[in-house]
Amino acid sequence: MTEEDVKLKFITPAIEQAGWDKMSQISMEYQITDGRINLINNVAKRDKVGIKKADYVLSYQLNLPLAIVEAKDDSHSIRHGLEQAKIYAQMLDAPFAYSSNGSSFIEFDFLSGSQRELALNEFPTPYELWQRFLEYKHFSSRAFKIIQEPYFYDQGAKKPRYYQQVAINRAIEAVANGKKRLMLVMATGTGKTYVAFQIIHRLYRAGAKKKILFLADRNILVDQSETGDFKPFGNKMTKIKDKLLDSSYEIYLSLYQQLVDEDGNEPFREFSPDFFDLIIIDECHRGSAKEDSQWRKILDYFKSATHIGLTATPKEDNEISNSSYFGEPIYTYSLKQGINDGFLAPFKVIRVGIDVDLMEYRPPEGMLDDYGNEIPDKIYNIKDYDRNLVLTNRTKLVASRISEFLKSTDRMAKTIVFCVDIEHAQRMCEALRNENSDLVRQNPNYVAQITGDVPNVNAMVERFSRPDEIYPVVAVTSKLLTTGVDCKTCKVIAIDSCINSITEFKQIIGRGTRLREDFGKTHFTILDFRGVSRLFMDPKFDGEPIKEDDLPAKANFTEEKPPKPKEDKEKSGERKIVINGAEVKILDELEQIYDQNGNLIASDFKDFSRQNILAKFKSLENFITSWDAQSKKQAIINELKDHGVLLDELKIKPEFTNLDEFDLICHIAYNKPPRTRKERADGVKKRDFLSKYSDKAREVLLKLIDKYADNGISDLENINVLKNDPFRDMGGMLEIVNDFFGGKEKYFEAIKELEKEIYAA
């Protein structure tokens, strides 16, 4: 029986007979991930085979999954699907996993670590699994009430993705059990604010938390929350403005600057210390854990409240330790996971090597700068440029390369350019406008400076962030756009600032990771002019909380760490050295993509396809076994194509034009010397294989061998090829199949034999 027959006749009836409601508790073909988007040569293609789907997800109530059941056809053992079920169960935080081929069930219990076989009529009831879960957790009656509080649902409202569901459930469970400090680490673009909304909703509705503060450090983060994910709170919610506090609301959104300022004013003390019983700190890496920070004054005052920190980049250094304050993260969902699951945009990196960056710069002796002052005789390097020394032509060269990239791809692609400071951003704006004067003439906001000193800058950020707003297209900034700005259609990030902080780097990369396929945003590009993409190689980039005093070495760039940058709103009084006439040029460029293992690899069809083949078939023997077992070879070819193996693109290359897919795969993945289609066809003709067939059948097979030599395996497996020349003159498809071979079944047997001979050596 097929897998579908097994499910229909045995597994589904057994589950339903155990009392699971098919409408509210059983989800079949439950899609967990969307499938990674693979990016090669600016072509974005979703890996359809990589989409993870569970045959059954069994939930006690919606969004509280208890068990995963994987089905297999009756040619497999009952245990065959168990490992797959366990993987899915771990992803969804479900405590039980089952596998079945229709004869019985195998159960794996994550709570006890035990495994057992169950008859079909012994499948556990919802109540039984729920009680086993509750007994393990030792929930109090109060905690039990809290964890059962439903999610917020409204018609047309978004549903939680699997990782959001896990983050929400773990937070609710931790709070229900009395935990006072907790942290969720989720990559930028994965919906931290939505997670915060559902946590607040469930705790508020359960009566566990009645006065709630959502705290952020940038106005746009608060505004985006108020008008976005938090909107359903309606008149229960207020945004604190002008340092005016009104105790009549339940949910408060605030900048920490509204509650405490640098002048020593502390409006938060108007509330009693026990006023709030839940505080959620957005982007908590930005200082909430620092003992002398403004944030900590607020948190320490409301210390009786539960504090939940949200961040994409937990920070660990001599001054700030998120984990020492909040504890270890109760859940982490990384950039690599988000990209591999297909929820975040993949990216490529173009690392641009400029001569004065790679080889340093020493001005000629006695040279004067643009102000007529003699330039100190010293060697300048990448840490000096645009901070102490301005090479005007370098700025122009960077602007030219950014513009060249946009002109070769999409000049209306939303782009963020990160500069050293405000003055550098001003010069970069000028250079970019001059490079794109035709579009600036059409709209002066084509290039916009978005820094802290610009009037009404928040309105400009809002316009840049909105997918339906065309302008501004190119946003030039220094620090203002590094954190929290939700620009889902940003397609290009250009970095012309020295960055040694992995925290800051991850936040910058996060500006591009959001997907908006409806607006054509499937991937993004990083133009790296300062060698900062070296930070991708650091194991802490997508791993444990970041300790900033342990930085990676710079390849081809100076090791010295630049001075701590000033805030956007501050300007250094020290005049920079400005040199107008220095010659600069690009020496080299390296294009790389971020692969499934979180590594930067060369953007090459062959290397990329090789990795994806090996992910599917770890050895040549594995591949050949599967190839021989598959009755239609085209099925394996199509499966590999869907898995990111770019066979069609590779076959265009001159060295691969005459190979069929089998030899191409064996060659690029396993270094097997290839044989051309013609060589394989000639080998079959020389052997005695055809002698057992009648003259007319042999003639058909010889012509099919020639077809294979010309076009490959697909012509052999498509019976409709017999309707065309040169077979039309032999009587056509029906006559050939019935009269020459004795029927369709025997014709396909002959084709199978022919394929076996073709790949015999």
pLDDT > 60? residue 449: yes
- Residues comprising the chain, all counted: 761
Q: Under 8 Å CB-to-CB from 197, ≥6 apart: which residues? A: 152, 225, 229, 230, 232, 233
Structure tokens at 83: 């490992």
Of 328, 308, 314, the residue nearest 285 (C-alpha)? 314
Rounded distance, CA 634 to CA 712, Å?
10
Rounded to 10°, the helix 620-629/661-670 angle is 160
pLDDT digits (tens, 9 = 90+) for 164-196: 999 999 999 999 999 999 999 999 889 999 999
| Spatial separation of the C-alpha atoms in residues 313 and 134, rounded to whole Å | 33
Q: Is residue 480 pLDDT above 80, yes or no?
A: no
Q: Is 378 exposed, middle or buried (0-12, 13-18, 19+ CB in 10 A)?
A: exposed
468, two tokens: 């339906």
Chain centroid to Cα 623, Å, comes to 29
pLDDT band, residue 606 (cuts 50/70/90): confident
The CA-based angle 42-44-48, given to 5 degrees, is 160
- CA 644: distance to chain centroid? 16
| 670, 682: one domain | no
Lowest mean pLDDT among 568-577, 614-623, 714-723: 568-577
Contacts of 123 (CB under 8 A, 6+ apart): 14, 15, 17, 18, 98, 105
- DSSP reduced 3-state for 136: helix
The percentage of residues in the chain with a pLDDT greater than 70, rounded to a whole number, is 91
Among 27-31, 568-572, 581-585, 734-738, the range with the most confident prediction by mean pLDDT is: 27-31
Among 394-403, 437-446, 679-688, the minimum mean pLDDT is found in: 679-688
Q: State the CB neighbour count (10 A cutoff) for residue 205.
A: 14
Q: Of 639, 674, 709, which one is at a domain's C-terminal end?
A: 674
For the ranges 115-124, 494-503, 653-662, the one whose mean pLDDT is highest: 115-124
Is 329 or 606 the better-scoring residue by pLDDT? 329
Q: For residue 639, is it within any domain?
A: yes
Phi, psi of 159 (to 5 degrees): -105, 150
For residue 84, give the CATH number of its domain: 3.90.1570.30
Q: How confident is the model at residue 83 (pLDDT cuts 50, 70, 90)?
A: very high
pLDDT over 80 (residue 243): no
Q: Residue 305 — pLDDT band, cuts 50, 70, 90?
A: very high
For 294-421, where are the alpha helices, taking DSSP H only?
294-301, 322-326, 335-341, 355-359, 392-408
* Cβ burial 473-482 (10 Å sphere, 16+ → b, else e): bbbbbbbbbb
Q: For residue 740, tell me if it sits in a domain.
A: yes
Looking at residue 217, its pLDDT comes to 74
3-state secondary structure of 493: strand
Identify whether residues 252 and 290 lie together within a single domain. Answer: yes
What number is the average pLDDT over the span 645-655? 76
Q: In sequence order, which ranges of 483-555 are alpha helices (DSSP H)?
A: 502-509
Nearest CA to 755 out of 617, 619, 630, 625 is that of: 630
**Average pLDDT estimate for 589-598:** 80
Q: What is the pTM of this model?
A: 0.78
Phi, psi of 500 (to 5 degrees): -110, -10
Contacts of 168 (CB under 8 A, 6+ apart): 63, 151, 160, 195, 198, 199, 202
Average pLDDT, integer, range 248-253: 92
Range of the domain at 419: 345-600
pLDDT digits (tens, 9 = 90+) for 23-82: 999 999 999 999 999 876 667 888 887 899 999 999 999 899 999 999 999 889 999 999
Residue carrying the six token digits 């890996």: 47
Are residues 62 and 122 part of one domain?
A: yes
Task: Please indicate, yes or no, whether residues 410 and 526 belong to a single structural domain of this protein.
Answer: yes
Instruction: Tell me the pLDDT of the chain averaged across its residues.
Output: 86
Structure-model confidence comparison of residues 636 and 170, the more confident one: 170
Model pLDDT, residue 355:
92
By three-state DSSP, how is residue 258 classified?
helix
Residue 318 shares a structural domain with residue 178: yes
Structure tokens at 527: 């133009």
- Residue 331 CA to residue 184 CA, distance in Å, equals 5
Residue type, 411: R
Residue 58 lies in a domain: yes
Calpha distance 715→485 (Å, rounded): 53
Asked which of 147-156, 257-266, 739-748 is least confident by mean pLDDT, the reply is 257-266
pLDDT in the model for residue 547: 42
Residue 339 within any structural domain of the chain: no
pLDDT value for 485: 65
Residue scoring higher pLDDT (263 or 477): 477
Same-domain status, 619 and 591: no
Residues 7 and 50 in one domain: yes
299 belongs to a structural domain: yes
317 and 540 in contact (C-beta within 8 Å)? no
Q: Which amino acid is at 213?
A: L
pLDDT in tens, 511-562: 899 999 999 999 999 999 999 998 888 776 765 443 433 333 332 333 233 3
704's tokens: 């099919």
Query: For the chain, what percentages of helix, strand and coil (3-state, to nearest 5) are there?
Result: 40, 20, 40
Give the model's pLDDT for residue 690.
85
Same domain, 664 and 707: no
Do 658 and 695 belong together in one domain?
no
Supply the CATH number for residue 425's domain: 3.40.50.300
Q: Spell 131-142 as b/e; 16+ CB within 10 A means b.
A: ebbeeebebeee
Q: Is 418 in the same domain as 561?
A: yes
DSSP at 468: T
pLDDT band at 565 (very low <50, low <70, confident <90, very high): very low
What residue type is assigned to position 81 of the chain? G
Distance between terminal CA atoms of the chain? Answer: 34
Residues 369 and 486 reside in one and the same domain = yes
Which of 541, 575, 600 lies at the terminal end of a domain, its last residue? 600
Residue 375 tokens read as 């330039």
Separation of alpha carbons 16 and 206, rounded Å: 31
Range with lowest mean pLDDT among 1-5, 283-287, 512-516:
283-287
Domain count, the chain: 5
Q: Residue 224: is its pLDDT beyond 80?
A: no
Check residue 135 and give left, alpha or beta (phi > 0: left; psi -120 to 50: alpha): alpha
What 3 state SS string does 61-117 have? ECCEEEEEEEECCCCCCCCCCHHHHHHHHHHHCCCEEEEECCCEEEEEECCCCEEEE
Residue 274: what residue type?
D
Lowest mean pLDDT among 492-506, 534-548, 711-725: 534-548
Q: Which residue's structure tokens are 């220094």?
A: 478
Is 400 part of a structural domain of the chain?
Answer: yes
Instruction: With respect to residue 340, please indicate whether it lies within any of the assigned structural domains.
Output: no
Q: Within 10 Å of residue 21's Cβ, how many Cβ atoms?
A: 11
Domain termination site, one of 561, 584, 600: 600
CA–CA gap between residue 606 and residue 590 (Å, rounded) = 17
Token couple for 471: 């302008």
Query: Residue 76, Cα to own-chain centre: how many angstroms?
Result: 34
- Each residue of 364-410: pLDDT tens digit? 888 988 888 899 989 999 999 999 999 999 999 999 999 999 999 99
Residue 616 has pLDDT above 70, yes or no: yes
**What is the band of 729 on the pLDDT scale with cuts at 50, 70, 90?**
confident
Asked whether residue 692 carries a pLDDT value surpassing 90, the answer given is: no
Reported as a pLDDT band with limits 50, 70 and 90, residue 220 is low
Same-domain check for residues 286 and 153: yes
Asked if the structure places residue 107 within a domain, the reply is yes
Q: How far apart are CA 311 and CA 286, in angstroms?
A: 9
User: Does the pLDDT value for residue 483 go beyond 70?
Assistant: no
> Do residues 353 and 589 make contact, with C-beta atoms less than 8 angstroms apart?
yes
Most confident of 104-108, 186-190, 350-354, 579-583: 104-108
* Pairing between β-strand 278-281 and β-strand 331-333 as defined by DSSP bridges: unpaired
Q: What are phi and psi of 681, to 5 degrees?
A: -65, -45
pLDDT at 169: 97
Please write the tens of the pLDDT for every residue from 401-425: 999 999 999 999 999 999 999 999 9
What gap in Å lies between CA 524 and CA 349, rounded to an integer?
9
Looking at per-residue pLDDT, the higher value among 287 and 214 belongs to 214
CA–CA separation, 404 and 417 (whole Å): 14
